């Protein structure tokens, strides 16, 4: 899978407020599907669909023990987002520095 496709899936997964709430909860540690669903007023199939999107995006990983499926954050996925943002920030800061030098009459 290309880097662009991975980023597309990551950002798609993070584009929904419910999925971001799940990610926020999982930053405190692993949780079962029922634990993740508890604060939300939605049917379990909808919760599972959101979790599948997060898993497809590489943001979370799951494991099943008996009848309980537990999810946890994959820290590598969030570091990819952080790296992408940092690269854009560096580029924009460079542009602003060049603009500042231009406006001050420096070459």
Q: What is the CATH number of the domain that holds 34?
A: 1.10.10.10
Cβ pair 28, 35 in contact under 8 A: no
Could you tell me which residue, 45 or 97, shows the higher pLDDT?
45
Each residue's pLDDT tens digit, 58-105: 999 999 999 999 999 998 888 888 888 898 898 888 888 888 888 888
Beta carbons of 58 and 74 less than 8 angstroms apart: yes
The range of the structural domain enclosing residue 38 comes to: 3-103
What's the domain count of the chain?
Answer: 1
CA distance readout (Å), 83 to 23, 39, 68: 18, 31, 33
């Amino acid at each position: 899978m290309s880097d662009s496709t991975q980023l597309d899936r990551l950002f798609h997964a993070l584009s929904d407020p419910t999925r971001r709430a799940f990610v926020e909860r999982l930053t405190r540690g692993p949780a079962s599907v029922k634990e993740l669903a508890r604060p939300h007023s939605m049917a379990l199939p909808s919760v599972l669909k959101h979790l599948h999107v997060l898993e497809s995006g590489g943001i979370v990983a799951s494991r099943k023990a008996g009848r309980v499926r537990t999810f946890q954050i994959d820290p590598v996925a969030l570091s990819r987002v952080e790296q992408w943002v940092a690269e854009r920030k560096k580029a924009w800061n460079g542009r602003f520095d060049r603009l500042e030098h231009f406006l001050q009459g420096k070459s």
